[in-house]
A = this chain, B = another copy of it.
Amino acid sequence: MTLTPLTDLSRLCLHTITTKPWNIDHAAKNYASAGVRGITVWRDALEGRNIAQTGQMLRDHDLTIVSLCRGGFFASKDHSKRQEAIDDNRRAIKEASELGTNKIVLVCGADPVQSLEESRKQIRDGIAAILPAAEAAGMQLAIEPLHPMYADVRSAINTLKQANDMAESLNSTCIGVAVDIYHLWWDPDLEKEIIRCGRQGHLLAFHISDWKTPTSDMLNDRGLMGEGCIPIRKIRSWVENAGFEGFIEVEIFSNVFWKQDQSDFLNRIISSYKEFA
């Protein structure tokens, strides 16, 4: 197992949603003060703001803007909603450019009133539709497979194999995959598919958190690294063996942590990153 020790925070990135109670000004200031070097910006954090100025503010804090979260949600039985999703993803590409990042994470979508096969076809068609805009903007689109418990409404792409298959079939330098261990840790083919993803040059992002026992909420009860059963270091070793050297992104949705003092939480993120990531 090859594993680069995380002796400093140079590869640590936080998703703004992880510290949702903070607005992006507070998040940027506090991340930077703590030594965090990367930020992934959720679109809700940009609402009502000048995006270009926000990007500049982040760079002024010496933060690398790792990606914009999130595009996607291409699947719908309703044709007009599919078109709206395509339009919204084109806006996301524009926003990401203004912000100053070259990567968008795609949560692909699913519609429970139709088959998963149909949703997958619509996802592929939706990505293909925005691909010219992504290519023109030099924007990378990272397909994120989601845990099978989200197959009804959030994503019909539920394994890394499916994401790899789709990325390869779309065959563009702008298309890749985001590996989130919360979604994928259970998969017996995970190591094999991570290696495949890296070999194809498709491994664009690495998101971490932990799976708590018990998990009290299907959406918002993710654990801090070390609180759960995910073999984070083992999976990181696979990702690094696959050639990934990018940011390690902490993406935690948690009703528990969002209620706590966010400065304390940030300190805990940093210590658990050093100890368990």
Which residues of A are in contact with B by a Cβ distance under 8 Å?
Answer: 112-113, 115-116, 147-149, 151-153, 158-159, 161-162, 185-188, 211, 213-215, 218, 228-229, 231, 234
Contacts and interface: CB of A to CB of B under 8 A. Distances in A.
Given A147-B149, A148-B149, A148-B187, 19 more contacts: A112-B228, A113-B229, A115-B234, A116-B186, A148-B148, A148-B186, A149-B149, A149-B215, A151-B185, A152-B211, A152-B215, A152-B229, A153-B214, A158-B187, A159-B188, A161-B188, A162-B188, A215-B218, A218-B218
B149 A213 contact: no
A187 B211 CA distance: 21
B151 A186 contact: yes
A115 B231 contact: yes
Nearest to A231: B115
A153 B188 contact: no
A218 B217 CA distance: 8
A188 B187 CA distance: 13
B148 A213 contact: no
Q: Which of A147, A158, A185, A218 has the most CB of B within 10 A?
A: A218
Contacts of A147: 148-149
Contacts of A215: 149, 152, 218
A148 B214 CA distance: 14
A213 B112 CA distance: 8
Nearest to A212: B152
Q: Which of A112, A211, A229 has the most CB of B within 10 A?
A: A229
Nearest to A116: B186
Contacts of A228: 112, 152
Contacts of A153: 213-214
A253 to B, nearest CB: 15
Nearest to A112: B229
Nearest to A117: B188
Contacts of A112: 213, 228-229
Contacts of A231: 115
Nearest to A162: B188
